[in-house]
Structure 1
Amino acid sequence: MEKKATLLKKTSKTFLLTGLVLAFLSSVALYFYTKYLLEDEVKEALYSTELRVESIIKNGATHYDLPPVIVVNEVAVLGRDVLKDTIIYDPSEDEMELFRELSTYKTINGKNYQITVRNMIVESEDFLIAIVVSNSIIFILAFIFLFYFNTTRNLQLWSPFFKNLEQMKRFSLTTKEPLELVDSDVLEFSELKNEISLLTNKVRTDYENLKQFTENVSHEMQTPLAIIQAKIDNLINEQEINDKQFEQVSSIQKDIQRLKQLNKRITTLTKIDNNQFINIENVSLTDLVSEKIEDFKELQFANLVYTSKNELSVSMDVFLADILINNLISNAIKHTKQNEEITIITKDNLLVISNFGEKALAHPENLFLRFYRESDTNQSTGLGLAIVKKICDVYDFKISYKFEETHHIFSIDFSK
């Protein structure tokens, strides 16, 4: 997974890298440009000195040597002018120094002369380095100032965005608290704030309408279902019906019971979504599982094997705890044949329920989705496990499923 970074960190990193590259390139460019100017100045100074020496010789002066800066020798043959760097001993400094040397050959007053002039360039190099270093220091100080100024300014500019982002993170459809969005003098941020306000208000309105519709439908379904059930009971009790009619009526009764169960579970999900279960108590799941097992055994489900390694207690609503255990055991029973064993284990902060299965689920990732059924032949509502997942989400419990050694295994970790 790609590592994420904040926008300010990314922009600051780009600014930092760009500034460092520019600082390095500008220092290098300044170094070579200043070096070129200094060398050119030294070259001009050497030629200027050579012309003065030549002028002195033409005027008949005899004392014109100043070793090692100026050396004049008579030669038999003229040579080529040479401009080069050389290291010679400087008696004034009593050490070897780097000089720029110009050797020229001139015929003056009928005589051939080699005129050598030198200029010490060590000081020039020091001057060059001083310029580059001082420029680099100034650039770095300016860069640091601009970097922190730019970061501070960006924080101020982006502050409304970050505050609104925090408000969006806290946004919940189940609460009616308004979003306290911050306006900004930046046009884009101001438009974003307005769009967020419009969107959240519309989502809340749609959610309230959908919630009200669900509650109304669930409520209105109860009366006609009760009436249909009563009429079927009267039909069976007051009139003689044949076997085929009895079979059809029994099928209708099963469908009515399924509709009642569906209505009840939709109502439960709606109440969970509306945070109507707020009574938190310390519930002993060990005792609750034992009670549920006894209830199911009375309904001829005697193949439930329960093992409790220690006391398991959680803090949650008692009614939701009852639904949680009931739905898990009911789900295992629905998918288990009469002679097959269902194992239930509680240990530490863990509840494990496993039942025999011939093969693994084709789409286990959809197992906790509402109205999802692995097989069309299954007559369940498809809401039992969805309710279990919803309850776990409310209390931050971790539910998981796996198929291992021909067994479907559901586990709930109650440690937060």
Structure 2
Amino acid sequence: MTKKTKLIKKTSKTFLLTGLVLTILSTAVLYFYTKYLLQQEIEEELYSIEARIVDAIKDKKELFSLPPITEIYKVEKLKPQIFKDTLIYDPAQKEMEVFREFTTYETINNQIYQITVRDLVVENDQILIAIVASTITIFVSAFLFLFYFNTARNIKLWSPFFKNLEHMKRFSLTSNQTIELEDSDVLEFSELNNEIKTLTNKVRTDYENLKQFTENVSHEMQTPLAIIQAKIDNIINDNSISDKQFEEITSIQKDIQRLKILNQKITLLTKVDNNQFDKVESVNLINLISMKLQSFKELSANNIVFNYKEELVVSMDVDLADILINNLISNAIKYNSRKEDILIVANNKSIIISNAGNAELLNPEKLFLRFYTETNNKQSIGLGLTIVKKICDLYNFNITYYFKEQKHFFELTFK
């Protein structure tokens, strides 16, 4: 998954990187361009000295060399002029210094002269370094000022967006309040606000319609199912039916009962999805499990062992807590493959329920999906664990399954 970065941080990082690259490039360009200009200036000075020497020779003035600044020799043939840097010992500084050297050959009064002039470039390098250093200082100072000014400006500019983002995070379909958004003088933000309001209003309307439809369907199904159940009871109580008819009608009665349970569970899932269980109070799950076990002992032949050392109190809807514990224990009883004890272990942070099993599930990741089952039990509704997962998600609980030592384990962890 790509690492997420805050918008202001990302834009600031881009600004920093861009500024750094521009500073490096501009400093390099300035360095070489200034160096080129200084070198051109030295070479012009060397040309000027050489021209004076040529004029002096033409006027037959007395000349003498002053090594290493100027050197004048008579030679036999002409050669190309040369510019180069050379190291010469400076007795004043007592160290080697860099000189720019210009050597040229001139024919004056039918005599060929080699004229060499040199100029010290050390001072020029120091000027170059000073110029680059001052330029970098100015660049960095201006860049830092622009960076903080730009960051402050961006924070102010994006402030409506961030505030609206917080409003959207707190938006709830179950609330009748219209989402309130911060107005902005930025055209794009204003258009975004209008689209968000339109979208949220449409989503709320669709949600209310779907909720009403689900409730109506659930309510309308209860009445015909109850009527059919009553008529079948009357037929069964009639002594005129045959044994075969009795078996078929009994089978129909069981299917009707299954439809009623299915309708109740789907209605419950819908209510959980719609956050209709908004009453939250402290529930002692230890007491709730103990009460449930009394009821299960009367209905089931399985022996259930309950071990706990501490109280376990969570904040949730009481009815959903009852459904959560009931479904987990019912699931353990239904799929307990051997006549072994069902074990429930609880502490102040978790509940673990285990039952005997023949083999590990083939697709444990699908265990909490609607209507999923790995058994051949056609009477299984397939919604019990789905309801458990929905309740856990609603209250930010964690439900996990694992198989160990020929047993199925469901661990419910509370944060």
Q: Per the shorter chain, which TM-score range? A: 0.7 to 0.9
Task: Provide closer, same or farther for how the CA distance between residues 290 and 96 of structure 1 changes in structure 2, counting only shifts above 3 A.
Answer: closer
What CA distance in whole angstroms lies between the structure 1 residues aligned with 2:25 and 2:105? 42
Tell me whether 1:29 sits opposite 2:23 in the alignment: no
The one-letter amino acid of 2:244's match is K
Counterparts of 1:213-224 in structure 2, within 5 Å, are 213-224=213-224
What CA distance in whole angstroms lies between the structure 2 residues aligned with 1:382 and 1:11? 50
How far off is 1:105 after superposition? 4.6
Partner of 2:49: 49
Counterparts of 1:352-371 in structure 2, within 5 Å, are 352-371=352-371
Partner of 2:182: 182
Deviates more, 1:225-234 or 1:267-276: 267-276
The one-letter amino acid of 2:282's match is N
Tell me whether 1:126 sits opposite 2:126 in the alignment: yes
Contact 2:342–2:355 at 8 Å: present in 1 too? yes
Contact 2:302–2:333 at 8 Å: present in 1 too? no
How far off is 1:399 after superposition? 0.9
How far off is 1:292 after superposition? 1.7
Task: Provide closer, same or farther for how the CA distance between residues 244 and 259 of structure 1 changes in structure 2, counting only shifts above 3 A.
Answer: same
Contact 2:161–2:189 at 8 Å: present in 1 too? yes
Contact 1:285–1:314 at 8 Å: present in 2 too? yes
What CA distance in whole angstroms lies between the structure 1 residues aligned with 2:407 and 2:93? 96
Tell me whether 1:405 sits opposite 2:405 in the alignment: yes
What CA distance in whole angstroms lies between the structure 1 residues aligned with 2:126 and 2:396? 70
How far off is 1:90 after superposition? 4.7
What CA distance in whole angstroms lies between the structure 2 residues aligned with 1:191 and 1:373? 48
Partner of 1:150: 150
Aligned length: 414
Task: Provide closer, same or farther for how the CA distance between residues 41 and 274 of structure 1 changes in structure 2, counting only shifts above 3 A.
Answer: closer
Counterparts of 1:330-341 in structure 2, within 5 Å, are 330-337=330-337, 339-341=339-341
How far off is 1:92 after superposition? 6.1
Task: Provide closer, same or farther for how the CA distance between residues 59 and 409 of structure 1 changes in structure 2, counting only shifts above 3 A.
Answer: same
Counterparts of 1:273-312 in structure 2, within 5 Å, are 273-312=273-312
How far off is 1:104 after superposition? 4.0
What CA distance in whole angstroms lies between the structure 1 residues aligned with 2:120 and 2:392? 85
Contact 1:56–1:64 at 8 Å: present in 2 too? no
SS at match of 2:307: strand
Partner of 1:233: 233
Task: Provide closer, same or farther for how the CA distance between residues 378 and 304 of structure 1 changes in structure 2, counting only shifts above 3 A.
Answer: farther
TM-score for the superposition, normalised by structure 1 = 0.87
SS at match of 1:3: coil
Contact 1:50–1:115 at 8 Å: present in 2 too? yes
What CA distance in whole angstroms lies between the structure 1 residues aligned with 2:413 and 2:91? 90
Deviates more, 1:99-108 or 1:132-141: 99-108
How far off is 1:400 after superposition? 0.9
Task: Provide closer, same or farther for how the CA distance between residues 128 and 232 of structure 1 changes in structure 2, counting only shifts above 3 A.
Answer: same
What CA distance in whole angstroms lies between the structure 1 residues aligned with 2:318 and 2:183? 45
Residue by residue over 1:299-327, the C-alpha shift from the partner in whole angstroms, topping out at 9 and shown as x without a partner, is 24233233334433333333222211111
How far off is 1:64 after superposition? 6.1
Deviates more, 1:396-405 or 1:107-116: 107-116
Deviates more, 1:231-240 or 1:206-215: 231-240
Contact 1:301–1:338 at 8 Å: present in 2 too? no
Deviates more, 1:158-167 or 1:126-135: 158-167
Counterparts of 1:76-225 in structure 2, within 5 Å, are 77=76, 80=79, 81-90=81-90, 96-106=96-106, 108=108, 113-225=113-225
What CA distance in whole angstroms lies between the structure 1 residues aligned with 2:108 and 2:230? 141
Unaligned stretches of 5+ residues in structure 2: none
The one-letter amino acid of 2:123's match is E
Counterparts of 1:3-18 in structure 2, within 5 Å, are 3-18=3-18
Contact 2:337–2:358 at 8 Å: present in 1 too? no
Contact 1:53–1:64 at 8 Å: present in 2 too? no
Partner of 1:393: 393
How far off is 1:376 after superposition? 5.9
Unaligned stretches of 5+ residues in structure 1: none
What CA distance in whole angstroms lies between the structure 1 residues aligned with 2:409 and 2:75? 111
Deviates more, 1:77-86 or 1:288-297: 77-86
SS at match of 2:173: coil
Partner of 1:326: 326
What CA distance in whole angstroms lies between the structure 1 residues aligned with 2:93 and 2:306? 101
Contact 1:98–1:120 at 8 Å: present in 2 too? yes
The one-letter amino acid of 2:170's match is R
What CA distance in whole angstroms lies between the structure 2 residues aligned with 1:374 and 1:176? 42
What CA distance in whole angstroms lies between the structure 1 residues aligned with 2:34 and 2:206? 71
Deviates more, 1:348-357 or 1:81-90: 81-90
The one-letter amino acid of 1:343's match is L
Task: Provide closer, same or farther for how the CA distance between residues 306 and 389 of structure 1 changes in structure 2, counting only shifts above 3 A.
Answer: same
Deviates more, 1:404-413 or 1:83-92: 83-92
The one-letter amino acid of 1:189's match is F
Task: Provide closer, same or farther for how the CA distance between residues 304 and 42 of structure 1 changes in structure 2, counting only shifts above 3 A.
Answer: same
Contact 1:68–1:90 at 8 Å: present in 2 too? no
Task: Provide closer, same or farther for how the CA distance between residues 42 and 305 of structure 1 changes in structure 2, counting only shifts above 3 A.
Answer: same
How far off is 1:354 after superposition? 1.6
